[in-house]
Amino acid sequence: GDSVTQMEGPVTLSEEAFLTINCTYTATGYPSLFWYVQYPGEGLQLLLKATKADDKGSNKGFEATYRKETTSFHLEKGSVQVSDSAVYFCALIGVAGGTSYGKLTFGQGTILTVHP
């Protein structure tokens, strides 16, 4: 079945440092890939997405490129801020999900803490 593997956290960085959170996946066909973020006390929010190979999703300074050849969708940000402290989830919707867009397969989440 489909699966998503994220780098284990927690990740602790200083403000303005470069961020990479690795995400690799296993799925048949061409899944859609997502990064969700959960700030303390809030629900998951869609951060960015990519629906086909070589697509780059971007939002709020974060970027991730859909790499079919390496089955990866690593999240990057050039300069993190304290306000980026949150839990980040990589996820996919596989081909088998069809039009059932709720059938997200998630990674285990990575806690990011950014210090001033």
**Residue numbers of the site for another protein (CB under 8 A)?**
4, 8, 32, 36, 38, 41-46, 49, 89, 91, 93, 99-109
For residue 15, which amino acid is it?
A: E
What DSSP string describes 39-92?
Answer: -TTS--EEEEEE-STT-EEEETTEEEE-BTTTTB--EEESS--GGG-EEEEEEE
Q: In this structure, are residues 98 and 106 in contact, taking their beta carbons and an 8 Å threshold?
A: no
Minimum gap (Å) between residue 4 Cβ and another protein: 7
**Within a 13 Å sphere around the CA of 5, how many CA atoms are in the beta-carbon half?**
8
Minimum gap (Å) between residue 22 Cβ and another protein: 15
Nearer residue to another protein within complex by CB, 27 or 104: 104
Minimum gap (Å) between residue 62 Cβ and another protein: 18
Nearer residue to another protein within complex by CB, 69 or 99: 99
Minimum gap (Å) between residue 21 Cβ and another protein: 15
